[in-house]
Structure 1
Amino acid sequence: MDDQAKTGAVPRDFDSLRAFMVERKSDMPKRLAQVAAYSLANPDEIAFGTAASIASAAEVQPSTLVRLARHLGYEGFSDLQSIFRDRLKEKNLSYEERLNILEKDRKHVEEAELLSGFLNAASQSIARLASAIDPAHFAKAVDIMAQAETIYLIAKRRSYPLTAHMAYACGKLGIRYIMVSSPNGVEPEMAQFATTRDAAFAVSFSPYAADSIAYAQAFAKRGVPLVSITDSVFSPLTGFSTTWFEVAESDFSGFRSLSASMALAMALPVAIAEKRRQSGREKLQNER
């Protein structure tokens, strides 16, 4: 426990707690980091849940929640949980949160309520990304990929639709790409064809597909610039990405859509194509 924790000067609001966790993530044991990542990605679940339900969802023992709280300097898990509950008091309950509460009180939820819940979760995700994303950060990612001769697209499982859409858009926009996906298992060898003149784009969300992380790291080790989308600063992708986007998708009844992530993935190839057109026009003007 550090000096700040010893003196009791621990964060008492969510934003400070988030920064506090991020600052200390490299010093956390594996299980504590796992719970910390889950808590930042699912703050509402931490606020509403019991120690048993949260531990089950985070795939750890309930005692790990107590260990994390004390590691950060709090008296116990309930003290840490109060930060997440205070966060909810500062905002009006969303329709998603109301439906989550409603679901706990009865066994059946009407179809229209389910649809409303998913739509509101999608809306929340997009609104959160819109308020958090840095235009300069987005421009940097676009610049990296606009300069690439070939863009390698990496994603598995739930993340795969994002790169599938990007592949479609890149094809239509004349952007050379390669999907790091094959039926004969040669994905690991694909990295050897990439150079520093190329770029890689990876997507992975918790619990993080091991293959996606391994492939992305292989490109990064070759000096290939890597742009990634993930859901937490605790994601293994953040350690070797040139630049990355944190996208926290809201869930409804435990199901997460890709609404905000898909919006970002749709914007990237269009911005890359526009960046290249702009660069082409500037080159022609300079040659005159």
Structure 2
Amino acid sequence: MTPLPHDFASLEARITADYPSLSRRLQQTAKFLLDHPQEVAFATVAQLAQQAGVTPSTLIRFSNSFGFSGFSEMQQLFRARLFDELPNYNERIRAVRTATGETPDSAQLLWEFATANQEALSQLPGRIAPEQLEQALDIFERAKAVHLMGARRSFTVASYMTYALHHIDKPAFLMNGLGGMYDEQLKAVSHEDALLVISFAPYAEESTEVAKQAHARGIPLVVLTDSTLSPLVRLADVALIVHEAEVKGFRGLTASLCLAQTLAIALGVRQDTARA
């Protein structure tokens, strides 16, 4: 069975390879999708069908033919491509406006972000297995100190959890890479400590490298990431997978912060019970 494409590059390669065997209508769809990836990332099925000159059901049939459960699942790969190529928020805003023709007002954006984050939070408990939480807490409880690393967008989560751990009297150190000294900070982590690395697509190179070195040294490693395909997962003793809200190409941190708070407070409860 051919594996499901996991990023835009692999999807593009599959479409290119299968193109000669596709029906005329699906070939028309394939050409439009690959020629207009920015529009595909954000427009609705109805909008894209009209632009491509096909029916909405043809777009759904096209995505199904490549193993996706629906068009929105395939569309996520087009969006991920833009996350990689358009790190600047102004560029993303322009991309959304070009693709959808929309100029949302502040009240509409607030409603959309609030609704999306509520949904991400409601799904979080069902996505994190209780045994995974307990395994991560076991590692943190045994550790003399917890070191935390999150680059770029993930820095907010790592910084907050460092703050929370200090407030439950757990020694915690934020690896901030000041002066580019991630390697030097990692050397301060002993085998009696634990490391939490937080990274989301497109996965900061610094985070992956720190995780690789920690894994090679046998340092207990917990990762918080957004996909089982994340390069961090295979390196971790425990991997916690979080799916964040995404609105018009902008992803939140609500679920990750909630999970970080849960880990810190649950660890505090454990420590308090042990002292009682």
Q: Supply the AA of the counterpart residue of 2:200.
A: F
The corresponding residue for 1:93 is none
Residue of structure 1 equivalent to 2:66: 80
Are 1:216 and 2:208 matched, yes or no?
Answer: no
SS class of match (2:70): helix
Give the counterpart letter for 2:198 in structure 1. Answer: V
Q: For residue 236 of structure 1, give the secondary structure of its aligned residue in structure 2.
A: coil
CA RMSD of aligned residues (A): 3.4
Equivalent in the alignment of 1:187: 182
Q: Distance in 2 between matches of 1:217 and 1:225?
A: 12
For the residues of structure 1 that align with 2:147 and 2:179, how far apart are their CA atoms? 18
The count of residues paired between Structure 1 and Structure 2 equals 218
The residue aligned with 1:53 is 37
- Structure 2: which amino acid aligns with 1:190? Q
Question: 1:135-186: CA deviations, max 9, x gaps?
Answer: 1111111111111001110111000000111111111111101111143332
* Alpha-carbon distance in 1 for matches of 2:13, 2:252: 22
One-letter code aligned to 1:239? R
| Partner residue in 2 for 1:32 | 10
Deviation at 1:82, TM superposition (A): 5.9
**CA distance in structure 1 between the aligned counterparts of 2:255 and 2:272, rounded to whole angstroms:** 26
1:97-117 residue CA offsets vs partner (Å, 9 max, x unmatched): xxxx99966532232111000
The separation in 2 between residues aligned to 1:186 and 1:167, in whole angstroms, is 18
Q: Report the counterpart of residue 175 of structure 1 in structure 2.
A: 170
CA offset at residue 251 of structure 1? 0.6
Q: CA deviation at 1:121?
A: 1.1
Q: Distance in 1 between matches of 2:131 and 2:12?
A: 30
Query: Contact 2:63–2:71 (CA<8 Å) still a contact in 1?
Result: no
Match of 2:234 among 221, 236, 239: 239
For structure 1, which segment, 233-242 or 180-189, has the greater mean C-alpha deviation from structure 2 after superposition?
A: 180-189
* Residue pair 1:152, 1:177 contacting (<8 A) in 2 also: yes
Structure 2 gap segments, 5+ residues each: 15-31, 42-60, 74-95
In 2, the alpha carbon distance for the partners of 1:198 and 1:105 equals 49
Q: If the length of structure 2 is used for normalisation, what is the TM-score? A: 0.69
Q: How big is the shift at 1:250?
A: 2.0
Q: Give the equivalent residue in structure 2 for 1:142.
A: 137
Deviation at 1:35, TM superposition (A): 9.3
Post-superposition offset of 1:84: 1.6
SS at 2:239 equivalent: strand
Report the Cα offset of residue 54 of structure 1: 6.7
Stretches of structure 1 lacking an aligned partner (at least 5 in a row): 6-19, 37-48, 58-74, 88-100, 282-288
* Mapping 1:38-117, distance limit 5 Å: 50-51=33-34, 52-53=36-37, 79-80=65-66, 83-85=69-71, 106-117=101-112
- State the identity %: 25
1:191 offset after TM fit, Å?
2.1
Contact map agreement 1:146 1:273 (CA 8 A) in 2? no
* Aligned: 1:266 with 2:261: yes
Change (3 A) 1:272 1:118: same
Residues 1:177 and 1:86: Cα distance change in structure 2 (over 3 Å): closer
Normalising by structure 1, report the TM-score. Answer: 0.66
- What CA distance in whole angstroms lies between the structure 2 residues aligned with 1:129 and 1:160? 20
Shift in CA distance, 115/81, structure 1 to aligned 2, threshold 3 Å:
farther
Is the counterpart of residue 199 in structure 1 residue 194 in structure 2? yes
Q: Does 1:119 align with 2:105?
A: no
Distance 1:190 1:113 in 2: 43
Residue identity opposite 2:105 in structure 1: E
